[in-house]
A and B are shown apart, each in its own frame.
Chain A
Amino acid sequence: MAKTVQCELCPNACVLENGQHSRCRARMNKDGVLYSLVYGKPCAVHVDPIEKKPFFHFLPGTTAFSIATAGCVLSCKFCQNWQISQARPEDTDNYDLPPDNVVRQAIFYDCRSITYTYTEPTVFYEYMYDTAIIAKKYKIKNTMHSCGYIKEKPLRKLSKYMDAADIDLKAFTEDFYNRICSGSLKPVLNSLVVLKEEGVWLEITNLVIPTLNDDMKTVKEMCKWILKNLGPDVPIHFSRFFPHYKLTNLPPTPLETLTETRKTAMDAGLKFVYIGNIRHEGENTFCPKCKKMLIERIGYFVKQNNISNGKCRFCSTSIPGVWS
Chain B
Amino acid sequence: MGHLNTFIPFIVMGITSMILQITVLRLLLSTFSGNELDIGITLSFWLIYVGLGSYVGGRIRLRHAFTLSFIVVSLLAQPTVLMIKAIRPALSLYPGEAVSFTYTILSTAISLSPLCFVIGLQFPLAVSYAGTRDAAGRIYSLEALGAFIGGVLFTFVISGRLGVMELCFSLALINIFMAVYISRKKIITLLIIIPLFFYISLCKISTSLPWHGIEPSQTVESRYGEITVIQVREQSSIYVNGQLFFTYPDIPSEELKAHLSMAFHPSPSKILVIGGSPGSLKEFLKYPVDGIDFIELNLKIVELSSRLLSQQEDRDALKDRKVRIIVEDARRFIKRLKKPTYDLLILNLPQPSTASINRFYTSDFFREARGILKDNGILTITISSSTGYIGRRMQTASGSIYNSLKSVFKYVGVTAQEYGGLFASDTPMNTDPETLEDRFVQRALKTRYFNQYIFRDAFSPLDVDYVRKRLSDIKIINTDLQPSAYLYNLMLWAEVHGGKALHCLLGIRGWHIISLSGVIIIPVLFLTFRRKRRVIYLSIFTTGFSSMAFMLAIILAYQALYGYVYEMIGMLSAIFMIGLWAGASLCRNIKNALRLLFYLELMTITLAFTSTIFFKSEFLFYVFNLLFGTIAGGQFSTANLSMGEPEMAGRLYGLDLIGSFLGAFIPSIILIPLFGISHTLLFIVGIKTISAVMIVSLRAKVI
Contact = CB atoms under 8 A, between A and B. Distances in A.
A and B in contact, CB less than 8 Å: yes
B392 A251 contact: no
B453 A301 contact: yes
Contact of A256 (B33, B98, B234): B234
Nearest to B100: A246
Interface in B439-469: 448-451, 453-454, 456-457, 462-463, 466
Contacts of A249: 33, 95-98, 239, 242-244
B239 A81 contact: no
B31 interface: no
B389 A92 contact: yes
Contacts of A270: none
29 contacts: A80-B386, A83-B386, A84-B389, A84-B391, A91-B392, A93-B392, A117-B388, A118-B387, A118-B388, A243-B96, A243-B244, A246-B496, A247-B94, A249-B95, A249-B98, A250-B97, A251-B230, A251-B232, A251-B235, A251-B237, A252-B250, A254-B233, A257-B233, A279-B449, A279-B451, A298-B451, A301-B453, A301-B456, A301-B457
B491 to A, nearest CB: 13
A47 B466 CA distance: 11
A324 B244 CA distance: 45
A212 B251 CA distance: 22
B388 A84 contact: yes
Interface residues of B, number: 45
B98 A248 contact: yes
A49 B462 CA distance: 13
A278 B449 contact: yes
Given A92-B389, A211-B232, 4 more contacts: A80-B387, A83-B386, A250-B94, A251-B244
B219 to A, nearest CB: 16
B394 A83 contact: yes
B168 to A, nearest CB: 26
A307 to B, nearest CB: 20
Interface string B211-252: 001100000000000000010111101010011100100111
B95 A256 contact: no
A252 B277 CA distance: 14
B135 interface: no
A68 B387 CA distance: 11
Interface in A230-278: 243, 245-252, 254-257, 277-278
- Which 9 A-B residue pairs are closest in the complex by CB-CB distance? A250-B96, A83-B391, A249-B96, A118-B388, A251-B237, A44-B388, A254-B235, A44-B389, A279-B449
B388 A251 contact: no
Interface in B311-362: none
Interface of B: 33, 94-98, 213-214, 230, 232-235, 237, 239, 242-244, 247, 250-253, 386-394, 448-451, 453-454, 456-457, 462-463, 466, 496-497
Contact of B252 (A243, A278, A300): A278
A187 interface: no
A77 interface: yes
Interface in A33-53: 43-44, 46-47, 49
A200 interface: no
A224 to B, nearest CB: 24
Interface residues of A, number: 44
Interface of A: 43-44, 46-47, 49, 66, 68, 77, 80-84, 87, 91-93, 117-119, 210-212, 243, 245-252, 254-257, 277-280, 298-301
Nearest to B235: A254
Task: Find the residue from B96, B232, B390, B497 having the highest chain A CB count within 10 A.
Answer: B96
Contacts of B456: 301
Given A251-B237, A254-B232, A254-B233, A246 B453 contact: no
A43 B213 contact: no
Contacts of B233: 254, 256-257
A47 B389 contact: no
Given A249-B242, A278-B449, A299-B451, A81 B387 contact: yes
Nearest to B255: A279
Given A83-B386, A246-B97, A210 B463 contact: no
Given A84-B389, A118-B387, A251 B94 contact: no
Given A250-B96, A251-B232, A279-B448, A87 B244 contact: no
Contacts of B388: 44, 46, 66, 68, 81, 83-84, 117-119
A82 B234 contact: no
Contacts of A119: 388
A46 B466 contact: yes
A82 B462 contact: no
Given A68-B388, A299-B454, A245 B247 contact: no
A198 B390 CA distance: 35
Nearest to A211: B214
B386 to A, nearest CB: 6
B60 to A, nearest CB: 45
B396 to A, nearest CB: 12
Contacts of A93: 392
Nearest to A301: B453
A46 B157 CA distance: 57
A256 B250 CA distance: 11
A81 B418 CA distance: 11
B389 A81 contact: yes
Contacts of B451: 279, 298-299
A151 B451 CA distance: 42
Nearest to B350: A248
Contacts of A299: 451, 453-454, 457
A61 to B, nearest CB: 12
A77 to B, nearest CB: 7
A87 B389 CA distance: 11
Nearest to B394: A83
Nearest to A109: B462
Nearest to A43: B389
B233 to A, nearest CB: 4
Contacts of B214: 211
Contacts of A278: 252, 449
Contacts of B251: 255
